[in-house]
Structure 1
Amino acid sequence: MAESVRNVFTAARHHEELGDAFYDAVEPARFPAHIQRWRNRRWAERVGLGGLSDGEWIAHFGRFEPLPGSLDRPLALRYHGHQFRSYNPELGDGRGFLFAQLRDPVDGRLLDLATKGSGETPWSRGADGRLTLKGGVREVLATQLLEARGVDTSKSFSLIETGENLYRGDEPSPTRSSVLVRLSHSHVRIGTFQRLAHLNDEAGLRRLIDHGIRYYMPDLWQDLKPADEATRTLAFLERACANIARMGAEWTAAGFVHGVINSDNVTITGESFDYGPYRFLAEYDPKFVAAYFDPYGLYAYGRQPDALLWNLTRLAECLMPFASPAKLEAILDGFSATFARSLAKATLDRLGLEQAREPAGLADDMAFAGVVYDFMNGSRVPFERFFFDWRGGPASLERAEAGPAAEFYRSPAFEPVRAGLLKRNPAAGANLDHPYFAAGRPCTLLIDEIEALWAPIATADDWSGWHAKLDEIALAAEAYGVTTPEAGEASPLP
């Protein structure tokens, strides 16, 4: 491995500090085959694992031999959760586990390497603990495109085909199997707190709050460590609300519909993860639903902020033994304003426009974001085409008005958007001279595209289309400034 800050693997094992009441040690499945299908080389280099040989990669991420200095054994995490607002106390890692923890050499964050499809656990509830290859392929695509569009998401780190035949009710069966490893900042879920509250385990809740602040909000830790319990609890909830509001805003600006925003799928760090029946919008549609098993649209695109706030309210309920209910509620009351500020930032980031620094300017940015989505909702302009056309605002006027969506931009309804775009300056990172913007079309990932990518894999083991799409996403990510920070940017470890 090259000798640089970002190429040094720094093992950690802090989740064990919570105690074995928070997890179960498990054995990984033994698979009949190990065919490497995806290796996230950019993130592997960043965290110091880029120098692994193919054999070493399979050993660690297919057979789950421990990484030096990290966890000696995989841990299936315990949690509960509301699933479509029905409480389920039988949850937990049923087809995955926490495999390792490590430190990001660039920013010092604690990171998890966790699995999906790695075999049965005490929480499998009679299921086989496996992941279909199609499910793994879909998750790699989702995380790569979300990262390109500026969403704080888990990273698909490894995908290995495992040589088993699986039977599923929602896929043609038998279907191929895989095991996925994701790189995430945290797997501490709202449902982790719900389990402890359900068990009336106040000592466990105290431990988890302090663990969450220390390792996932380290900028708060030194100030809060000597503070009273109520102060720490309120600060913890306020930061979790901000994190989760930001995530919801990033989903909105990315045109992303998660599909299953259950409380076991929402982490305190506000990092999007666990991709099942997701969708990217073809056009703005608040009523669009990703999951076929969500007939009432509980998690529709336009209802995602409400769903996140509902989950945060469940978290606040778990914290009531430690802080005033009125003060907890006051923090929840601020969610909508936080979401609006986050949405303004996410929207302007996607458009490559400078953002206001003063309160009056911030209010104007928030109003402008509202105008943008009102126009998109009323016009049904292709979602990603709009952001592609108007990257850089006034700098893209000629390009947008000569493009295939020009008719949308000639309507009277567009005039407020045009005015807002033209009075803003392109951001320093707008990057409009990148070849991606000269290509004439944005990178999309609609459901028909995903099915078209999967069909040749399923029928002829032809991965060429999949790799071409990942190359296209990588080009978009580069254009939008998604790159690995340089060595030497690390912050002190908490």
Structure 2
Amino acid sequence: MPIRPQAYRPDCPILDLGDAFYDRVEAATFPETVLRFRNDRAAMEVGLDSLTDAEWVQHFGRFTALPGALPQPLALRYHGHQFRQYNPEIGDGRGFTFAQIWNDGGRLMDLGTKGSGQTPWSRFGDGRLTLKGGVREILATEMLAALNVPTSRTLSIIETGEALERGDEPSPTRGAVMVRMSHSHVRIGTFQRLAYERDEAGLRKLVSYVLRVLYDEPGDDPVRLLDLVVGRTATLAARYMAAGFVHGVLNSDNINVTGESFDYGPWRFAPTWDRGFTAAYFDHQGLYAFGRQPEAIHWDVMQLAISLRAIAESEPLVEALDRFGDRYMAAVTDAILWRLGVTPRGADDDRALVQNVERALRATGAGIDRFYLDVFGGALPDGYGEPWAEVRTALAPYTPRKDRSHAYWSGEPCSMLIDEVETIWSAIAERDDWTVLEAKVATIRAMGEALA
């Protein structure tokens, strides 16, 4: 097997947690395995880019174990609040952890699946993923990575030859199996399950695992863990806002403890700075609307704090949790300045600039992506009139963090609004034309290079 040995470093630290944290499962057997997407840029980070297509399909479509990695897939156990209702009967219902590999930056990456078959936690589901869902995962993860949002990456999409019935899209529809690469799949809901079961020993073991393996820190201090999670999730919330992204389902089982976004279902990008914009058609109360995402993520982190009360004093946990707001404000300022393409000047000036930008975007209904393209580097074009006067004044003393020499800046903004998502899917569904998707991924990556 042509895995690059100098780059490929598999490991299995999750096994140290023990059988109480997961169930050993088998992948489904699919009628076909047609490779549709392989992310060699992500694969290169863990030494898997040299796999042949046939080997790729064998590992990520048939789930033959990778050398030295987990001998058998693991369906993780967790609970969670789903739209603020506690559910103790969930877990990995259509996915599993397939491998753990150290990347070239010294971070442990999980290879997790979606659509790989039923597990003990499938309940009434078929354990499958639609091909359209897989395509949407590609688009979400590529776009978010380019916009500097901490996110899982879509490593592989393989079409399975199955016809799936779904109530929320035209059926039968094509099936697929996905592999994502993410820095852990330990969720807030993983801690909630242990607290619900009054398993203090399990909580301590999980705290130690997360600190040691995922944060590279010694010890087993729950307060330290909460403080780290507060910082990471505040940054995630901030970067969602700067990207104009709406995840759609910010349940506590969808928030991992390393602050990386993952599991993309009804996501959308907001066309304008509309705080009430929602992604999920079933989010009738707007609980996870664009402007409420920081509040939603803070609420989820509060559930982690509540879970940790079984093994820590309340007061220091509350103090750590209360730092979320200040950390979010600092992070959203940094994130918007990054997207404006300017170098920070100082806390007061930076906050004032960001407030002026948000106010003008709300008042004018200007397109988010159009605005960021036009203003990158701090020069607001003449076409922006009186409603933008305060932004123009606030921007004046700022210096660019990067020039506009990249070809991306002379074209149209790279957006990912719902109509384009549907157009990309239609080309695949109606003509099996993957060139539209491939071209979009190339455009997104060019934007990422221009912004980086």
Aligned residue pairs total 452
Task: Give the letter for the 2:349 counterpart.
Answer: D
Asked if 1:425 corresponds to 2:405, the answer is no
Instruction: Return the alpha-carbon distance in structure 2 between the equivalents of residues 366 and 275 of structure 1.
Output: 31
Matches within 5 A, 1:71-470: 71-105=70-104, 107-218=105-216, 221-222=217-218, 225=219, 232-356=221-345, 361-394=346-379, 397=380, 400-401=381-382, 406=383, 409-411=384-386, 413-427=387-401, 430-439=402-411, 441-470=412-441
SS of alignment partner, residue 174 of structure 2: strand
Q: Shift of residue 379 of structure 1?
A: 1.0
Runs of 4+ in 1 over 3 A off after TM superposition: 1-5
Q: Residues 102-154 of structure 1: CA distance to partner in whole angstroms, max 9, x if unpaired?
A: 0012x200100000000000000021100000000001000000101110100
Instruction: Return the alpha-carbon distance in structure 1 between the equivalents of residues 148 and 357 of structure 2.
Output: 18
Q: Is the 8 A contact 1:74 1:99 kept in 2?
A: yes
SS of alignment partner, residue 438 of structure 2: helix
Task: Give the letter for the 1:473 counterpart.
Answer: I
Q: Is the 8 A contact 2:203 2:311 kept in 1?
A: no
- Mean CA deviation greater in 164-173 or 330-339: 330-339
Equivalent in the alignment of 1:61: 60
Q: Is the 8 A contact 1:431 1:479 kept in 2?
A: no
Q: Shift of residue 246 of structure 1?
A: 0.2
Q: Is the 8 A contact 2:35 2:159 kept in 1?
A: yes
Q: Is the 8 A contact 1:431 1:480 kept in 2?
A: no
SS of alignment partner, residue 393 of structure 1: coil
Q: Is the 8 A contact 1:190 1:268 kept in 2?
A: yes
Equivalent in the alignment of 1:485: none
Q: Shift of residue 367 of structure 1?
A: 2.7
Instruction: Return the alpha-carbon distance in structure 2 between the equivalents of residues 349 and 133 of structure 1.
Output: 34
Closer, same or farther: CA 420–14 of 1 in aligned 2, 3 Å:
same
Task: Give the letter for the 1:458 counterpart.
Answer: A
Q: Shift of residue 178 of structure 1?
A: 0.2
Q: Is the 8 A contact 1:190 1:263 kept in 2?
A: yes
Task: Give the letter for the 1:474 counterpart.
Answer: R
- Mean CA deviation greater in 169-178 or 42-51: 42-51
User: RMSD of the alignment, in Å?
Assistant: 1.5
Equivalent in the alignment of 2:11: 12
Instruction: Return the alpha-carbon distance in structure 2 between the equivalents of residues 431 and 345 of structure 1.
Output: 18
Q: Residues 257-305 of structure 1: CA distance to partner in whole angstroms, max 9, x if unpaired?
A: 0000000000111100000000001111000010000001000000001
Q: Shift of residue 2 of structure 1?
A: 10
Q: Residues 233-277 of structure 1: CA distance to partner in whole angstroms, max 9, x if unpaired?
A: 111101100000000000000000000000000011110000000
Q: Is the 8 A contact 2:4 2:47 kept in 1?
A: no
Instruction: Return the alpha-carbon distance in structure 1 between the equivalents of residues 239 and 336 of structure 2.
Output: 8
Q: Shift of residue 386 of structure 1?
A: 0.8
User: For structure 2, which runs of at least 5 residues remain unmatched after alignment?
Assistant: none
Instruction: Return the alpha-carbon distance in structure 2 between the equivalents of residues 324 and 2 of structure 1.
Output: 51
SS of alignment partner, residue 154 of structure 2: strand
SS of alignment partner, residue 99 of structure 2: strand
Instruction: Return the alpha-carbon distance in structure 2 between the equivalents of residues 211 and 355 of structure 1.
Output: 36
User: With structure 2 as the length reference, what TM-score do the two structures score?
Assistant: 0.98
SS of alignment partner, residue 355 of structure 1: coil
Q: Residues 143-189 of structure 1: CA distance to partner in whole angstroms, max 9, x if unpaired?
A: 00010111010000000001000000001000000001000001000
Equivalent in the alignment of 1:471: 442
Q: Is the 8 A contact 2:279 2:289 kept in 1?
A: yes
Closer, same or farther: CA 319–3 of 1 in aligned 2, 3 Å:
closer
Task: Give the letter for the 1:18 counterpart.
Answer: L
SS of alignment partner, residue 177 of structure 2: strand
User: For structure 1, which runs of at least 5 residues remain unmatched after alignment?
Assistant: 482-494
Q: Shift of residue 323 of structure 1?
A: 2.1
Instruction: Return the alpha-carbon distance in structure 1 between the equivalents of residues 339 and 51 of structure 2.
Output: 35
Task: Give the letter for the 1:344 counterpart.
Answer: T
Instruction: Return the alpha-carbon distance in structure 2 between the equivalents of residues 213 and 9 of structure 1.
Output: 23
Instruction: Return the alpha-carbon distance in structure 2 between the equivalents of residues 342 and 257 of structure 1.
Output: 17
Determine which structure has greater relative contact order: mean sequence separation of CA pairs < 8 Å that are 6+ residues apart, divided by chain length: 1
Q: Shift of residue 456 of structure 1?
A: 2.0
Instruction: Return the alpha-carbon distance in structure 1 between the equivalents of residues 62 and 254 of structure 2.
Output: 26
SS of alignment partner, residue 229 of structure 2: helix
Equivalent in the alignment of 1:24: 23
- Mean CA deviation greater in 413-422 or 75-84: 413-422
Q: Is the 8 A contact 2:21 2:77 kept in 1?
A: yes
Q: Is the 8 A contact 1:144 1:473 kept in 2?
A: yes
Q: Is the 8 A contact 2:78 2:190 kept in 1?
A: yes
SS of alignment partner, residue 180 of structure 1: strand
Task: Give the letter for the 2:393 counterpart.
Answer: A
